[in-house]
Structure 1
Amino acid sequence: MKKYIFLLLTVGLLALGCSKNNDDDNGPDPVGNADLDTQHFMWQSLNLWYYWQAEVPNLADDRFSSDQEYTEFLGSESDPAAFFENKLRFSGDRFTFYREDFKDLVRGLDGISRSNGLEFSLTYIDSNDNDLLDNDEIIYGIVRYIVNGSNAATVDISRGEIFTGVDGQELNGANYQDLLFGENATYTLNMADIDGGTLTPNGKEVTLTKEEGLLENPVYITTTLDVMGTKIGYLMYNGFTDVARDDAGNIIADYDEELNSAFGELVSQGATELVLDLRYNPGGSVRTAQLLSSMIYGTDNTNLVLWRQEYNPKLQAIFDPAQLEDTFLNQTPRAGTPLNTLNLNRVYVLTTRSSASASELVINGLAPYMDVVQIGSTTRGKIEFSLTLVDDPDREGAPYIYSPSRENQINPNNLWGMQAIVGVTANSVGFSAPNGLEPDIQLFENAQNMGILGDVNEPLLARAIQEITGMSGRRDFTVDIPVKEITNSKMFTTLKDNMYLDKPIKLDFIPE
Structure 2
Amino acid sequence: MKKYLLLFLFIGTITQSCNKNDDTPIVEEEQEEIVEEDVQLKSEVNDFVWSALNSWYLWQDEVLELGDDRFATTNDYYTFLNGFQTPRGLFQTLQSPKDRFSVIVDDYDILFNAFAGVYTTNGVEYVLTRPPEGGNKVVGVVRYVINGSDGADKNIKRGDIFYAVNGVELIAETDEEGNIVSSNLDLLNPDVFTLNFAELTESGLVSNGVNIELIKTEIIENPIHISKILEINGTKIGYVMYNSFTANFDNDLNTAFAELKNSGVTELILDLRYNLGGSVLSATRLSSMITGQFNGELFSREQWNAKWQPYLGQDNNFVDAIDGDPINSLNLNSVYIIATDDSASASELTINSLSPYIDVFHVGGVTRGKNEFSVTLVDNPVQAIEQTGQPPFPVPYIVLGGEFNTVENSNPRHKYAMQPLVGTNVNADGFGEFTNGLEPDFPLNESLGNLGQLGEPGEPLLDLAIEQITGISAKSLQIDIPDNYQIKTITSSNRMKPFREITRYDLIK
Check whether TM > 0.5.
Answer: yes
Partner of residue 499, structure 2: 495
Equivalent of 1:400 in 387, 397, 402:
397
Alpha-carbon distance in structure 2 between the residues aligned to 1:286 and 1:178:
32
The equivalences for 1:169-184 within 5 A come to 169-173=168-172, 174-181=182-189, 184=190
Partner of residue 78, structure 1: 85
Deviations 1:462-500 (A, max 9, x none): 111111012248651533421111110011112221111
Alpha-carbon distance in structure 2 between the residues aligned to 1:51 and 1:490:
25
1:416–1:373 Cα change, 3 Å: same
Partner of residue 131, structure 1: none
Equivalent of 1:194 in 195, 200, 211:
200
Deviations 1:301-342 (A, max 9, x none): 2331111221222323x236xx4321111111xx42211111
The equivalences for 1:34-433 within 5 A come to 35-86=42-93, 88-125=94-131, 137-173=136-172, 174-181=182-189, 184-196=190-202, 198-211=204-217, 213-243=218-248, 255-298=249-292, 300-316=293-309, 318-319=310-311, 323-332=313-322, 335-396=323-384, 397-403=394-400, 405-432=405-432, 433=434
Alpha-carbon distance in structure 2 between the residues aligned to 1:175 and 1:69:
40
Q: Which amino acid aligns with 1:327?
A: N
1:284 and 1:495 in contact (8 A); partners too: no
Q: Which amino acid aligns with 1:202?
A: N
1:459 and 1:477 in contact (8 A); partners too: no
Alpha-carbon distance in structure 2 between the residues aligned to 1:152 and 1:342:
35
Q: Cα offset for 1:443?
A: 0.8
1:106–1:197 Cα change, 3 Å: farther
Q: Percent identity?
A: 41
1:219 and 1:237 in contact (8 A); partners too: yes
Length-normalised TM-score, structure 2: 0.85
Alpha-carbon distance in structure 1 between the residues aligned to 2:280 and 2:454:
26
Deviations 1:333-390 (A, max 9, x none): xx42211111100000111100111000000100010000111111110111111110
Structure 2 unmatched ranges of 5 or more: 2-34, 173-181, 385-393
Q: Which amino acid aligns with 1:319?
A: Y
1:98 and 1:105 in contact (8 A); partners too: no
Paired residue secondary structure (2:342): coil
Q: Which amino acid aligns with 2:359?
A: D
Q: Cα offset for 1:49?
A: 0.4
Paired residue secondary structure (1:451): coil
1:444 and 1:479 in contact (8 A); partners too: no
Q: Cα offset for 1:126?
A: 5.8
Alpha-carbon distance in structure 1 between the residues aligned to 2:257 and 2:329:
7
Partner of residue 10, structure 1: none
Alpha-carbon distance in structure 2 between the residues aligned to 1:485 and 1:166:
19
Alpha-carbon distance in structure 1 between the residues aligned to 2:487 and 2:429:
33
| Greater relative CO (CA pairs within 8 A, separation 6+) | 1
2:133 and 2:204 in contact (8 A); partners too: no
Q: Cα offset for 1:503?
A: 3.5
Deviations 1:180-205 (A, max 9, x none): 12xx2211111011234711111111
1:65–1:191 Cα change, 3 Å: same
Partner of residue 246, structure 1: none
1:258–1:63 Cα change, 3 Å: same
Paired residue secondary structure (1:201): strand
Paired residue secondary structure (1:409): coil
1:357–1:371 Cα change, 3 Å: same
Deviations 1:129-174 (A, max 9, x none): xxxxxxx710100000111111111111000100001110111114
Aligned residues: 451
Q: Cα offset for 1:27?
A: 2.2
Structure 1 unmatched ranges of 5 or more: 1-12, 14-22, 129-135, 244-254, 506-512
- State the 4+ residue runs in structure 1 displaced beyond 6 angstroms: none
Partner of residue 27, structure 1: 39
1:336–1:366 Cα change, 3 Å: same
Deviations 1:75-130 (A, max 9, x none): 111311112223x12122111111111111111222211110110000003699xx
Q: Which amino acid aligns with 1:214?
A: I
Partner of residue 18, structure 1: none
2:300 and 2:428 in contact (8 A); partners too: yes
Paired residue secondary structure (1:178): helix
Paired residue secondary structure (2:264): coil
Alpha-carbon distance in structure 1 between the residues aligned to 2:70 and 2:458:
61
Paired residue secondary structure (1:491): helix
Alpha-carbon distance in structure 2 between the residues aligned to 1:38 and 1:139:
39
Q: In the alignment, does 2:455 pair up with 1:454? A: yes
Q: Which amino acid aligns with 1:476?
A: Q
Q: Which amino acid aligns with 2:360?
A: V
Length-normalised TM-score, structure 1: 0.84
